[in-house]
Amino acid sequence: MKILTVPGDPHGVNAIMVSKTEEFHDHDVVRLSSADGSQSVERRIFRVVDAGEDKWELQFE
């Protein structure tokens, strides 16, 4: 399982931009962790969208 760091509370994150150098697939489960490490949540990827500029947008259920 991949761990992604987000600023603030990861529970409210509906989408995140990531580098295209990493591989993600629809329905993968990732762990979102707050930058300070105090909170984390597992989320299932609903859709992976090409966001341009060598980025993927991961949209969560």
Query: Concatenated DSSP letters for 5-37?
Result: EESS-GGG--EEEEETTS---TT-EEEEEETTS
The pTM score is 0.89
Tell me whether residue 25 is exposed, middle or buried, using C-beta atoms within 10 angstroms of its C-beta: 0 to 12, 13 to 18, 19 or more: exposed
Percentage of the chain lying above the pLDDT 70 cut: 100
pLDDT band at 28 (very low <50, low <70, confident <90, very high): very high
What's the mean pLDDT in 17-32? 96
